[in-house]
Amino acid sequence: MSSIFSFTYLLYVQTGLICFLEIQKLFHMEKRFLLIEKI
């Protein structure tokens, strides 16, 4: 039971990290786009 819980927890953390990185990438792209638009 505990092994299944730890596996699910690891999967959840990994998914969260991937989502966080993707959001950061989009945020940086948006910032760059806005800077280009200003020029």
pLDDT at position 39 over 80: no
Which run of H or of E encompasses 32? helix 2-38
- For the chain, the average pLDDT equals 90
Q: Cα–Cα distance between 20 and 29 in angstroms, integer?
A: 14
Query: Residue 37 — very low, low, confident or very high, per pLDDT cuts 50/70/90?
Result: confident
Q: What is the pTM of this model?
A: 0.57
pLDDT at position 4 over 80: yes
Rounded alpha-carbon distances, angstroms, from residue 4 to 8, 9, 17, 20 = 6, 9, 20, 24
Query: Residue 1 — very low, low, confident or very high, per pLDDT cuts 50/70/90?
Result: low
pLDDT digits (tens, 9 = 90+) for 21-36: 999 999 999 988 888 8
